Amino acid sequence: MIDKELLEILACPVCKEGVDLRQDRLVCRKCGRAYPIRDGIPVMLIDEAEISTEGQE
Q: What range defines the domain where residue 18 resides?
A: 4-51
pLDDT at position 3 is 87
Residue pair 54/32 in contact by the 8 Å Cβ criterion: yes
Which pLDDT score, from 0 to 100, does residue 15 have?
96
* CA Rg value for the chain: 10
Report the number of distinct structural domains present in the chain.
Answer: 1
Indicate whether 37 belongs to any domain.
yes
Question: Is the residue at 56 inside a domain?
Answer: no
Residue 57 lies in a domain: no
Q: What is the CATH number of the domain that holds 23?
A: 2.20.25.10
Q: Contact 28/42 with Cβ under 8 angstroms?
A: no
In a domain, 39, yes or no: yes
Q: Does pLDDT of 48 surpass 90?
A: yes
**How high is the pLDDT of residue 54?**
53
Q: Does residue 17 sit within a domain?
A: yes
Q: Is the pTM of this model over 0.75?
A: yes
Evaluate whether residue 10 is within a structural domain: yes
